Amino acid sequence: MTQVPSCLRLTGVVLAVLLGTGRVSAQTPIQIYGAWHCYTDGCSWASVPNMATFETDNRWLIDRNMNGTYQPSVNLVILSFVDPVKLMNLTTDSGNSNGIPVGMNAAVINYFQSHGVRVMMSIGGASYRKNWDKALSGNPTQLGINAANAAKTFNVGMEIDYENSSSPNLTGLQQFVTAYRSKLPYDASGANDAARLTIDLGNDDLYLTKLAAYAVTNWLQTNSPILDYANAMVASQKTSVSTLETGWQQHVDGVSGSVSPMAPAKLTASLWLIGGQTNCNNFSNSDQNTAASFVENLAPAGAGTSAGMLGYMFWAAGCQGNGTGCTFPPNTCEFGMGGAASAFTIPIPMPALRQQ
């Protein structure tokens, strides 16, 4: 398939004359273009930000031109991470208030939401895998209720990041999801930010296979959705775009005898975001540009009816740790992320998501 240059992109449709085919070819616009955010402390959010410093560090996220026009570079920020045990217990200590890290406060959330950027919180992450296990074997219903109440308090969505690949507690996780939905029913319109509940799965179906199989069968069906969508997690930093696309394709195809096919409209693709590297500072040479045709045109293969994934997520804004570069000055990402937001005509605020 010929990829149309970003300067010739048209929202929702690529005119066939540009491709020389003489007909109009459908191309699904990207609806989700977001980043997980790890603050300055490797994803703990354990201190209250100085908002003047926070503005300097994160201005590129809400002002892609860095000139006061305030056109955001993303339409979603996911604050990462919430400890599931502390949320279950509504722990208040030096780094948490009622189970939510003190850095994930109203000022931070309003910083993004006041510019049309949707905000979510991620529960878990690799560091909290064992704490997910503890919470799900303890009181998963209370965890779900507490997560929903926090979502309503802060007007944010919640993400499940449960990285137990060998023996996930699916019974407990079902109780968590049921409890959350008892307080916040699924909202196809997307109007209620707190009702947004998503899940992270592997880059492909070969990691977190049991979780993927259960989630696709029970929560991600287009005719009776429980979760809004799944994020295909980032793979190794050195993974090629073509290999990433193979993983995303596998989610849509499923794995025979193991994982059912997933509708492209229930999936986002994830890429690395590291200060000083091309996804951050050079859209033309970025992975998001290279993968755009695949993401926008991935066809259903047994589930769903519309082509194209929902969009992209990036790991991560802020300081994610693991020896990777932060996205703070002088390594901000307006030329990579902001350039993509312009080229892809990312809708801000995020619209109602495709359901089929």
Distances (CA, A) of 5 to 46, 290, 302: 43, 11, 30
- On the question of pLDDT at 23 being above 80, the answer is no
What pLDDT is attached to residue 323? 66
Length of the chain: 356
Q: What pTM, to 2 d.p., does this model score?
A: 0.92
Note the pLDDT tens digit of each residue in 103-113: 999 999 999 99
Residue with tokens 């590129």: 60
- On the question of pLDDT at 25 being above 50, the answer is no
Note the pLDDT tens digit of each residue in 190-246: 999 999 999 999 999 999 999 999 999 999 999 999 999 999 999 988 899 999 999
- On the question of pLDDT at 17 being above 50, the answer is no
> What is the tally of structural domains in the chain?
1
CA atoms within 13 A on the CB side of 118: 28
Strand partners, 76: 34, 118
Residue bearing the bigger pLDDT, 227 or 18 = 227
Amino acid (1-letter code) at residue 120 = M
What pLDDT is attached to residue 20? 32
HEC letters along the chain: CCCCCHHHCCCCEECHHHHCCCCCEECCCCCEEEEEECCCCCCCCCCCCCHHHHHHHHHHHHCCCCCCCCCCCCCEEEEEEECHHHHHHCCCECCEECCEECCCCHHHHHHHHCCCCEEEEEEECHHHHHHHHHHHHHCHHHHHHHHHHHHHHHCCEEEEECCCCCCCCHHHHHHHHHHHHHHCCCCCCCCCHHHCEEEEECCCCCCCHHHHHHHHHHCCCCCCCCCCCEEECCCCCCCCHHHHHHHHHHHHHCECCCECCCCHHHEEEEEECCCCCHHHHCHHHCHHHHCHHHHHHCCCCCCCCCCCCCEEEEEEECCCCCCCCCCCCCCCCHHHHHHHHHHCCCCCCCCCCCCC
What pLDDT is attached to residue 324? 82
Does any domain span residue 2?
A: no
- Sign of the alpha-carbon dihedral angle for 238, 278, 74, 79: positive
- Mean pLDDT on 142-165: 98
- On the question of pLDDT at 18 being above 90, the answer is no
* Range(s) of the domain holding residue 80: 30-343
Does any domain span residue 349?
A: no
Note the pLDDT tens digit of each residue in 32-84: 999 999 999 999 999 999 999 999 999 999 999 999 999 999 999 999 999 99
43's CB contacts (< 8 A; 6+ apart) are: 80, 81, 125, 127, 316, 318, 320, 321
Task: Give the Cα separation of 277 and 75 in Å (integer).
Answer: 21
Task: Give the Cα separation of 297 and 307 in Å (integer).
Answer: 5
Does any domain span residue 296?
A: yes
Does any domain span residue 205?
A: yes
Q: What is the CATH number of the domain that holds 206?
A: 3.20.20.80
- On the question of pLDDT at 322 being above 90, the answer is no
What pLDDT is attached to residue 1? 26
Q: Residue 85 CB: number of other CB atoms within 10 A?
A: 17
Does any domain span residue 167?
A: yes
Distances (CA, A) of 112 to 73, 81, 156, 350: 11, 17, 11, 13
Does any domain span residue 20?
A: no
φ/ψ of 101, rounded to 5, equals -55, 140
Does any domain span residue 276?
A: yes
Task: Give the Cα separation of 155 and 153 in Å (integer).
Answer: 6
- On the question of pLDDT at 297 being above 60, the answer is yes
Task: Give the Cα separation of 79 and 317 in Å (integer).
Answer: 10
Does any domain span residue 18?
A: no
